[in-house]
Structure formats: structure tokens, C-alpha cells
Structure 1
Amino acid sequence: MTPIRRLLYLGYYFRKMNWPLLLRFMDHVREHHGIGRGRQAAALVIDSLRYNISPLEWYQFGFVSMTSAEKATWAGTGTMYEFQLRANPSEHREVLNDKRRFYKAFGQFFRHKLLDRKALEQEPQRARELLGENEKLVFKESTGNCGVSVHIVPTSDLDADSLANWMRENDYDMVETFARQHDALQALSPSGVNTVRIFTLVTESGEYRLLGCRLRISVDSHVDNLAAGNLAAPIDAETGRVNGPGVYSDITRAPEKIHPRTGVPIEGFQVPFWKETLDMVREASLLHPENRSIGWDVVVTPEGPGLIEGNHDWCKLVWQLPVHRGLKFMLDSDERAPRSKEP
């Protein structure tokens, strides 16, 4: 990694910076650690260049109280970008970038249906069938991420004859049937579908490895993305039991051992159909191994697990924050990466 490249990364981070959030993080650190904004700014710039992280990650990873050795264990945005570009080459990513192509490639693992807007335009009767058979539909932009473009609408509010036009006017190019989550997950948080995120790696020699499992938990939100203010909790890969509190990516919010709205315990929560979930993800990972490291989003329904999507640029925060430890050692080399149980 050349110093020039890291300087370019730093410039990119500042161009894309959420400045109000950065300033709020700075004030939080000043209040709790007694470090002024100037000293914080100097430290985060130095550490961004040294450890290949973004300025916000300096706060989210907790670098303010870490030793140099501890800082070196964390995989930041720069590290993840370089790893994921090697593991998931640009020429193979379209199947993951476009949810419609993902559905065609991995449809055997889905529990719900996905329809392209063009299909509704070409076959109008499919819109009538869709509305007649479902109470809710999920509208998305096929290349959207972080839950930004997700819109859930009761079918009673929609008209079959104008559905395709409505989708075009609102910039939705696909629609999914609503996946009903398992009753246990519904009791944990009913505001949104709470998915399991599983990180996998197929090494260059074709060996399958599990990099970690997390439960994403909605909090007063119809999506469960960490970036949208929701929780992520670690799952013991052997048992499927949540073995730690849910955490936010916002450092001003404390971890949650029980759900803040429903009161259902997060620690100790047993994810249903765990063996079936792991078996499905392993099979999916080996089906199209040209993308070697994927963050899989899994919905667990009353009938079993199903895929929602796969991410080539999976989130380092969801991966590392719930276990309170940097996991860069798992990426340092495909072939030499330790096979021991995730901490």
C-alpha cells in the first residue's frame, strides 16, 4: 500500500463525510475522554493513514483508547475495499450488484418471489395475481443498498392496472413479495424483518470458510441495517445462539442486552433453523465461487431460511463491532487465514 493511495483514500473520506455525525462523535469523546477536537483531528488523520481506516471508524472502532498493536487488528474501509476487490473482481460483481440477477442466480434458495417491473409491463395479469395473493409488497431499486430504497406497501393501497406505472414514477424497478419472519424473530422486533448476516470466504484453493455470523435487529424501523440506526449482535456459529449484546454504529448509544422496545432478551436469543441456515449459505457460496467473499442476508421464515441478497462489499462494522475486536487477521491471506473459531 503506497502512502499516495492512502492520501487519496483520506481525501475521499472527507469528500463523503457526514460532518454532523463526525462533530457529534468529537463532542462525545471530548466529554468522556477530555480530548479536544484539535487533538482528535490530528489523531484520526494519522491513524487513517497508518491503519487504513476512515475518520468515522476511528471513533466506531474505539481507537481513542487503544494501543498501536490493538489498532492494527482492525479492518477499516481501505483494507476492506482492497480485500473485496481481490476476492470479488469487478467483472463478476454484477450478479451481486443487481438484485434481479441475484434472484435468477440464487432463486433456489429464496422463500419469496421477485418480479422485474418489465415483467409486469409485458404481462399485466401478473400484477393482478401479485396483489390478489399478498397483503404487502416490498418495492426496491435493484442496485440500492443499506435499505435506502426499500418501501413496503399494503396491497390494498395499490391498483393492479397502474402498478407498473406507479413503480416507474417512483423509480422502483423491482418488487418482492413480503417475507414473513419466524414468530420468535417477530416477537424480538416486529417493526422490520430481522435478518441474519453471514460472512463467508471461498479461498483461492476452493476451501469454504465461515468468517462470522450476526443478527441484525430493527429498532422502530422497517429495515434492519446498522447504518439506519439499528442493532447488530454476534451469533455463536456452532449453536446459533446470540452470545453478546446488540450494538449500534453510533458511539453515543450504549449496547443493548434486551430489545429497547419489546423487552425481549437479545443475549441468549436462539436463531431458529440454524443448521439449515448454515447449510444453505454454504451451498450458495459454492454455487458461484467466482465471487469468493460474500455477506449473505438471510430471512428466517416459519418454514425455514431463505436468501434476501448477497453483498460483495459487506460491512466491516456489522462484522467487527458486535464482537468488540478487530478481525483483520481473517483477511490478511486467503490461504494463511486462521481456521480457528471466530472470537
Structure 2
Amino acid sequence: MSDNRLGLAGKFRYLAERARRIDIKSVAERAKEVHEQHGTWAPRAFADMLWSAARHDVAFQDYVDYDFAILTKDERATYMTHPVSMQLAARFAKKDKRVLFENKIEFNRVFDRFLKRDWLVVEAGNADAVQAFAERHGTIIAKVPVSHMGLGVRRYHAADVTDWAAFHRGLLERDELLLEEVIEQHADLAAVCPGTVNTTRVTAFFDGQDVHILAVAQKFGRGAVSDQMSYGGFYTMLHPEDGRAFGPGYDSHGHVHEKHPDTDFPIAAFRLPFFDDVKAFVKEVARVVPEVQYVGWDIVVTPEGPVLVEGNWGAGVYENKPSVTGIRTGHKPRYKAAIGF
């Protein structure tokens, strides 16, 4: 295996940038949140956050989300953090290939055979094609080509459109240039939240020969067009071996969901269907652009099996929350075993 150690120069640059942009008020607010959740003296939590960020690459929100205040040093060391993930992403994604993941239209062109759904690019002069596409599918998803955190995504119903020329013009003005057929999710996912297509985030690493599944998170929406937290969504971690939920769901805003708020489905009872197919599917898509090795793949399981939504070269981090699941270890050992950093 090649030397995949994270470079000290890159780490120092990252820490210097964080130090320059540090928001003391924000850190103090997070320390207060830690005190409210775990009873830790706020000044102690504040100091520990700063030390953990500088010495162990722990983002302030990671410290809160993963309950570092109640973990031992050895337990903390098992958790993947956003700063470490960002360093890995920068190291294992060739700059000239990142656009294939950053631009949703480019992504669809490259990964078209894995999408398994109809899609259309909105262009000047194709209002008739847009009308035909929308009327064929009834409900469609419109996306801004470059966006983050599920923003720039809207849902439209053909029956609501009375002026197709104006609708087409509006799509162009709002930069909603990618239209997609709505994915039909598996009944097991619809049982949890039928109003949102609930995605599975599979973080994987391609070492040039093998594809390693590092972590699997199941996201659930609240009926909106996206299951991201910015739309009220939350997640639970799934066991990488069999797709069973670790426990209840949670988000980065202090909300814990033993049951889905809208359907009363017990989140800990969830098990992702077609899980072996999902892992095989990711091991196939991860080889398409070998220059981008570390990716967070968003998958939806349909009645026929997995389909691809998008890939994120900045994979982000989804981790276990000890106070919710009772499990006091994270996924970092899996990352280290696969990547060798």
C-alpha cells in the first residue's frame, strides 16, 4: 500500500485557516450546549473543544454531535471527524476530476447508466421538451447544477403549470437546469417517510484495486423534497455488514427521534433492503472515476434495487452518537484500515 499519511503541511495550513476564522461566540454557544446535554462545566468544555480541534482535528460541531464530553481519550480516537475527512478528500480527488461530482449535469452524464431514471437539461428553446418531460412523469425534480446540502432542489407538478413558456423561463432564471424523474423508493423506506425519497449515504474508498465500504448512514426526510438536515431531515447509522440501524435517529440540532415524527416508525427497527446489492452497486460505481477515490455516494433503494442519486467527493462525516445508541465507538478504524493514514 502507498504511503497515505496526511501531510503535516496541509494540516498546518488547515489549522491556520481555522484559527483565522474562529468564532469564539459560536464555540461558547456549543460549550453551553454541551453543558445542557451532559452537565459538563461550560468553560471546561470550551477549553476542551479548542484543544481537541488543535491537537486531534475535531471540529467544534463534531465535539457536540458525537458526545465527546462523555467519551474517554481512546473512545474519541475511534471517531472520524470532518477536518480529517476534508484532508482525505483533498488528497484523494484529482482537481480536474472534481467537477464531475460538483456539477450535477456532468455527474449525470458520466454516471447515466447507474441513475436508472429519466432526466433532461433545460436549455434555451426547449420549452416543448420540458413540457413533454413534465407531463410524461407528472411530478418532476428540478436541481441547480452546483449546490450543497440539498439546497437548490425543488419539486414541481405538471398539473399546476398553466403557462409552459413562463415555467421554462422561470427554470432558466432560477438556474434550475436539471430535471429528473422522481425515484420510486422501496416500500420499506416509504414506510418510514413516504413524502420524501430517503437516501442512503455510503462512504467508500477505492484503493486502485478494491473498494472499501467505510460507513453507511440512512437519512430520513420529513416530507420535503430533500432529506437533508436543512429540510428537517435526520439520520441513523447502519451496520456496514448487514444494513441494520444502530439505533434511533438524530441530527446536528439536538433532535433525537426514536420514532419518525410523522409515521411513528421505530427507527432502531429499520433495516435497509437489498443491502448486499447496495454494497455491490457502490463497488461498481466507485470504479467509474478512479481519480476520485474517496466519495460519499447517495443511493436510493427502489423496489428493483439500488439507484444512484449523486456522489460527493467531499464525503463529509456521518457517525454514531453514543448518548442515543449506547455505542461509544466510531468508524475511524475502518477508514484507517482501508486508507492507511
TM-score of the superposition, structure 1-length normalised? Answer: 0.85
CA distance in 2, matches of 1:311, 1:224: 16
Asked if 1:103 corresponds to 2:113, the answer is no
CA distance in 2, matches of 1:241, 1:58: 25
Equivalent residue runs for 1:199-210 within 5 Å: 199-203=203-207, 205-210=208-213
CA distance in 2, matches of 1:279, 1:4: 38
CA distance in 2, matches of 1:324, 1:154: 45
Give deviations 1:176-209, integer Å, cap 9, x for gaps.
1221222221121123111111111111x42221
CA distance in 2, matches of 1:238, 1:40: 35
Equivalent residue runs for 1:168-247 within 5 Å: 168-203=172-207, 205-226=208-229, 228-247=231-250
CA spacing shift, 1:334–1:304, aligned 2, 3 Å = closer
Asked if 1:125 corresponds to 2:125, the answer is no
Aligned 8 A contact 2:92 2:293 in 1: yes
Aligned 8 A contact 1:139 1:176 in 2: yes
Query: Residue in 1 aligned with 2:295?
Result: 294
CA distance in 2, matches of 1:124, 1:25: 49
Query: Residue in 1 aligned with 2:255?
Result: 253
Cα shift at 1:52: 0.9
Equivalent residue runs for 1:87-166 within 5 Å: 87-118=92-123, 121-158=124-161, 159-166=163-170
221-230 or 284-293, larger mean C-alpha shift: 221-230
Structure 1 unaligned blocks of 5 or more: 338-343
Aligned 8 A contact 1:141 1:172 in 2: yes
TM-score of the superposition, structure 2-length normalised? Answer: 0.86
CA distance in 2, matches of 1:234, 1:266: 10
Counterpart of 2:61, as a letter, is L
Give deviations 1:126-158, integer Å, cap 9, x for gaps.
112112212211111111111111111212223
CA distance in 1, matches of 2:220, 2:236: 8
Aligned 8 A contact 2:66 2:319 in 1: no
CA spacing shift, 1:312–1:25, aligned 2, 3 Å = same
Aligned 8 A contact 2:139 2:156 in 1: yes
Corresponding residue SS for 2:239: coil
Query: Residue in 2 aligned with 1:341?
Result: none
Structure 2 unaligned blocks of 5 or more: 1-7
Residue among 25, 41, 44 paired with 2:46: 41
Cα shift at 1:171: 2.8
CA distance in 1, matches of 2:50, 2:205: 31
Aligned 8 A contact 1:9 1:78 in 2: no
Counterpart of 2:245, as a letter, is V
Query: Residue in 2 aligned with 1:285?
Result: 286
Aligned 8 A contact 2:213 2:279 in 1: no
CA distance in 1, matches of 2:85, 2:72: 21
Corresponding residue SS for 2:132: helix
Give deviations 1:206-237, integer Å, cap 9, x for gaps.
22211122211113543112454422122233
CA spacing shift, 1:333–1:12, aligned 2, 3 Å = farther
Counterpart of 1:253, as a letter, is H
Corresponding residue SS for 2:298: strand
Corresponding residue SS for 1:59: helix
Counterpart of 1:276, as a letter, is D
Greater RCO (Cα-Cα under 8 Å, separation 6 or more): 2
Aligned-pair Cα RMSD in Å = 2.6
Counterpart of 1:150, as a letter, is V
CA spacing shift, 1:67–1:53, aligned 2, 3 Å = same
CA spacing shift, 1:210–1:247, aligned 2, 3 Å = same
Counterpart of 1:265, as a letter, is P
Counterpart of 1:163, as a letter, is F
CA spacing shift, 1:79–1:243, aligned 2, 3 Å = closer
Q: How many residues align?
A: 328
Residue among 55, 58, 61 paired with 1:50: 55
Cα shift at 1:58: 1.7
Query: Residue in 2 aligned with 1:340?
Result: none
CA distance in 2, matches of 1:6, 1:310: 24
Corresponding residue SS for 1:267: helix
Counterpart of 1:311, as a letter, is N
Aligned 8 A contact 1:6 1:52 in 2: no
221-230 or 147-156, larger mean C-alpha shift: 221-230
Identity of matched residues, %: 23
Corresponding residue SS for 1:270: coil
